[in-house]
């Protein structure tokens, strides 16, 4: 029935352009065409409202002035913008509600979500596309890698097999690792062996994380890096303020106890053991360095030889550990290592030495259990759901199984799945690269007016901006079946054993990581998969990446007015580009090397300028919980700089091309449309009460909009 309604609207669209009859007759005609049975449909009021709104815009077409865009894309996006507004609000008093109030009213928080907005909505759409691609086994000419993506998804969707196996796959792994104290007395002296197994085979990071990445001070080589890790809750603050977080700590304990019981332990034993684990994590939280104190990478970067780790943290047998994690690559004690948490490693070594070995073992095994919960039977997922409901107010049970499986397939075989996604959705002539160039020009031109930056630093900053490498849409290798197959050749996937596939993925990714150690960094290597609704800037490669997943409505449409595109994807581009010059990105030069390339006077002026921003954002709060302006500084700089660059680029585009036609029905100039469009891309639905873990990078958008 809804298809019939919209077909009638299409007829009306044509009619309004071709006929010049009385407006009252037109409204009567469309009303008469709608079947009475429609009014009994669920959601009839929303659909009827959209129809009336659509008609209203098209009626205005009859009296439109010549400078108005009347193409179908323009009329469609005008309808979307209009529906998101709340015209009862004065934009000079509350711009955010004016721009987004209608959208928030029509988009209540979906069940199972802690937040909802255009980013979330687009990701849902992308997941639906991926679902169809993964379930379409009749597609011809699939590469082997693309087939593996479909098989991985099928195994994840095979719930009957997962339920049949129950907890056995995990119990077998625990027994192979050496067991734990859940079912009886445990007294083994195998700490080093267990640490190696859980870190190398299961990719967990109990006390610290070890990985391979580009050397920040030598961007032409990869290097082993060590950093702090180990907490089971999202941040150290949960453990440090027990009074304020009592209900979350209790929910966490109940969750761990339930997992212990599901794995065969008694309630009494599980209660005692899990409380010991939380007590240990609390001690770990006390020695964990807050993120806001780690933003100056020049201060926390320490390059040493592997043999020096034994002096820094003697509780760990480092060479056997590193050799296990990076097998089959051969290492020796002169292997260079970058340590980003020197004091933490010293303290965690002391903590390990002074903690009962059974507590250490139980803690390490629980890290594995936590990681495996989502790939076990429904009992484990129900336990996790109860925990998440307390933490975030969300119900995982509201999430269909296919969404979990699509997301996991994207994580494991995202570039194989991305090949299918790109072929299905991405337009090669989207002209996005032109916008990147315009945003970059605007940013560089703005440097001329930065009064606090000295000429030498300005020149170097322009050179860095010029050198930024843009990657748009997808990595080129995924469109070449032989190259794509080669990447995933060693990843074995079956159609019916989900747990085994995940274990195979851990082994596969471990080998890939190890082999990177002896290779030069690849500038064309992506850290996001093509369907991702996001973007990023990588300082060690001085590159900006814009996946295909975000290069579509509501952020970008080639047929839309430039005001919408610059206010949408243009701001995203400007945001990522500005990260090259935020409080962390500015420490890297044009070649991606961490070094002092600013003059001291400019560093001091920058610090003074950014401290003002830290104080400003620290004065904001959500549900009476203050923001940490120091922690969010990089994102705040990028948001402000990104918007400025995008608007300047739009003004420059107008100067070169002339003013573009306005959209019908809105009564806005295109300059106003730029800011309204920007705001609507950041609309956020109702939030849950618990904002403790709500990303501050998202929350700060609210306040930024108030200043525009």
Band of pLDDT at residue 430, cut at 50, 70 and 90: confident
pLDDT of residue 401: 94
642: burial class by Cβ within 10 Å (0-12, 13-18, 19+)? buried
367 pLDDT exceeds 70?
yes
pLDDT in tens, 170-212: 999 999 999 999 988 888 889 999 999 999 999 999 999 999 9
Please give the Cα distance from 129 to 420 (Å, whole number): 10
Band of pLDDT at residue 36, cut at 50, 70 and 90: very low
Write b or e for each residue in 12-29: b if 16 or more Cβ atoms lie within 10 A of its Cβ, otherwise e.
bbeebeeeeeeeeebeee
pLDDT in tens, 444-487: 999 999 999 999 999 999 999 999 999 999 999 999 999 999 99
CATH of segment(s) 168-375: 1.10.1380.10
Give the three-class secondary structure for 117.
coil
Catalytic-role residue among 258, 410, 576, 582: 576
Please give the Cα distance from 481 to 143 (Å, whole number): 6
* pLDDT (mean) for 299-323: 98
Architecture of domain 64-106+427-474+530-708: 3-Layer(aba) Sandwich (3.40)
Task: Provide CATH 3.40.390.10 ranges for the chain.
Answer: 64-106+427-474+530-708
Sign for the pseudo-dihedral over CA of 323, 329, 330, 333: negative
First-to-final CA distance of the chain: 43
Q: Best-predicted range by mean pLDDT among 177-181, 301-305, 698-702?
A: 301-305
Work out the mean pLDDT of the chain and round it to a whole number.
89
pLDDT in tens, 110-125: 877 778 899 999 999 9
pLDDT of residue 360: 97
Least confident span in 141-145, 309-313, 687-691: 687-691
For residue 303, which phi and psi values (nearest 5 degrees)?
A: -95, 125
409/685: higher pLDDT: 409
Name the DSSP class of 66: T
pLDDT of residue 321: 98
**Going along 229-347, which residue ranges are E strands?**
302-305, 336-339
Cα 91 to Cα 53, 231, 662, 675, distances in angstroms: 22, 44, 19, 11
Task: Provide CATH 1.10.1380.10 ranges for the chain.
Answer: 108-166+400-425+476-518, 168-375
Least confident span in 343-347, 398-402, 580-584, 694-698: 694-698
Element (H, E) at 100: helix 95-106
Catalytic-role residue among 335, 587, 639, 696: 639
Q: Best-predicted range by mean pLDDT among 115-119, 498-502, 684-688?
A: 498-502
Please give the Cα distance from 498 to 170 (Å, whole number): 12
* pLDDT (mean) for 133-155: 95
140/612: higher pLDDT: 612
Q: Enter the pTM of the model.
A: 0.87
pLDDT of residue 58: 55
Residue 576 appears among annotated catalytic residues: yes
Sign for the pseudo-dihedral over CA of 275, 277, 279, 281: negative
Give the three-class secondary structure for 699.
helix
- Give the alpha-carbon dihedral of 82, 87, 91, 96, to 10 degrees: -60
CATH of segment(s) 108-166+400-425+476-518: 1.10.1380.10
Please give the Cα distance from 177 to 473 (Å, whole number): 42
């Amino acid at each position: 029935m809804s298809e019939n309604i919209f077909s009638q609207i299409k007829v009306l669209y044509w009619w309004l352009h071709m006929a010049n009859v009385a407006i009252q007759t037109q409204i009567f005609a469309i009303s008469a065409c709608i079947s009475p049975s429609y009014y009994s449909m669920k959601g009839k009021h929303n659909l009827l409202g959209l129809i009336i709104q659509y008609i209203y815009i098209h009626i205005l077409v009859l009296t439109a002035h010549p400078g108005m865009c009347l193409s179908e894309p323009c009329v469609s996006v005008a309808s979307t913008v209009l529906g998101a507004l709340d015209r009862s609000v004065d934009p000079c008093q509350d711009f955010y509600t004016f721009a987004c109030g209608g959208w928030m009213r029509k988009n209540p928080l979906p069940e199972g979500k802690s937040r909802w907005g255009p980013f979330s909505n687009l990701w849902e759409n992308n997941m639906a596309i991926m679902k169809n691609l993964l379930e379409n086994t009749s597609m011809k000419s699939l590469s082997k890698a693309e087939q593996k993506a479909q098989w991985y998804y099928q195994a994840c969707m095979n719930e009957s097999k997962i339920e049949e196996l129950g907890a056995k796959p995990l119990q077998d792994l625990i027994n192979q690792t050496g067991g734990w104290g859940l079912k009886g007395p445990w007294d083994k002296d195998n700490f080093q062996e267990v640490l190696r197994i859980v870190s190398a085979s299961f990719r967990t990071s109990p006390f610290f994380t070890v990985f391979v990445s580009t050397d920040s001070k030598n961007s032409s080589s990869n290097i082993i890096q060590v950093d702090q890790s180990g907490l089971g809750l999202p941040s150290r603050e949960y453990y440090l303020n027990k009074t304020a977080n009592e209900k979350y700590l209790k929910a966490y304990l109940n969750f761990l106890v339930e997992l212990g019981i599901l794995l065969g332990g008694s309630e009494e034993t599980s209660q005692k053991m899990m409380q010991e684990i939380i007590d240990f994590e609390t001690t770990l939280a006390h020695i964990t360095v807050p993120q806001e104190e780690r933003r100056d990478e020049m201060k926390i970067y320490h390059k040493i030889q592997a043999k020096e780790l034994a002096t820094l943290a003697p509780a760990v047998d480092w060479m056997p550990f590193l050799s296990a994690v990076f097998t089959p690559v051969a290492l020796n004690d002169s292997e260079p290592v970058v340590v980003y948490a020197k004091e933490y490693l010293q303290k965690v070594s002391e903590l390990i030495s002074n903690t009962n070995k059974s507590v250490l073992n139980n803690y390490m095994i629980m890290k594995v259990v936590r990681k495996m919960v989502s790939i076990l039977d429904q009992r484990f997922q129900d336990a996790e759901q109860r925990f998440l409901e307390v933490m975030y107010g969300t119900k995982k049970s509201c999430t269909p199984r296919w969404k979990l499986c699509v997301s996991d397939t994207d994580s494991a075989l995202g570039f194989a799945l991305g090949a299918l996604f790109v072929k299905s959705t991405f337009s090669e002539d989207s002209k996005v690269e032109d916008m990147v160039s315009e945003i970059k020009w605007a940013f560089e031109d703005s440097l001329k007016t930065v009064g606090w930056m000295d000429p030498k630093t300005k020149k170097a900053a322009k050179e860095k901006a010029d050198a930024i490498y843009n990657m748009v849409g997808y990595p080129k290798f995924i469109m070449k079946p032989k190259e794509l197959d080669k990447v995933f050749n060693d990843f074995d996937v079956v159609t019916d054993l989900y747990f085994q596939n995940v274990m195979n993925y851990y082994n596969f990714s471990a080998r890939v990581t190890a082999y990177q150690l002896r290779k030069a960094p690849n500038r064309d290597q992506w850290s996001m998969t093509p369907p991702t609704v996001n973007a990023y800037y990588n300082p060690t490669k001085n590159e900006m990446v814009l996946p295909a997943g975000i290069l579509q409505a509501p952020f970008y449409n080639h047929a839309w007015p430039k005001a919408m595109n610059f206010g949408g994807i243009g701001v995203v581009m400007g945001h990522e580009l500005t990260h090259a010059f935020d409080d962390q990105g500015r420490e890297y030069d044009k070649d991606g090397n961490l070094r002092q390339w600013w003059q001291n006077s400019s560093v001091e002026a920058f610090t003074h300028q950014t401290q003002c921003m830290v104080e400003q954002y620290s004065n904001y709060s959500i549900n009476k919980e203050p923001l940490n302006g120091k922690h969010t500084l990089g994102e705040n700089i990028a948001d402000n700089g990104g918007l400025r660059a995008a608007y300047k680029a739009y003004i420059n585009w107008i100067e070169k091309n002339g003013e573009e036609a306005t959209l019908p029905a809105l009564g806005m100039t295109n300059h106003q449309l730029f800011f309204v469009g920007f705001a609507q891309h950041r609309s956020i639905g109702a939030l849950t009460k618990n904002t403790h873990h709500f990303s501050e990078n998202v929350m700060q958008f609210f306040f930024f909009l108030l200043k525009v």
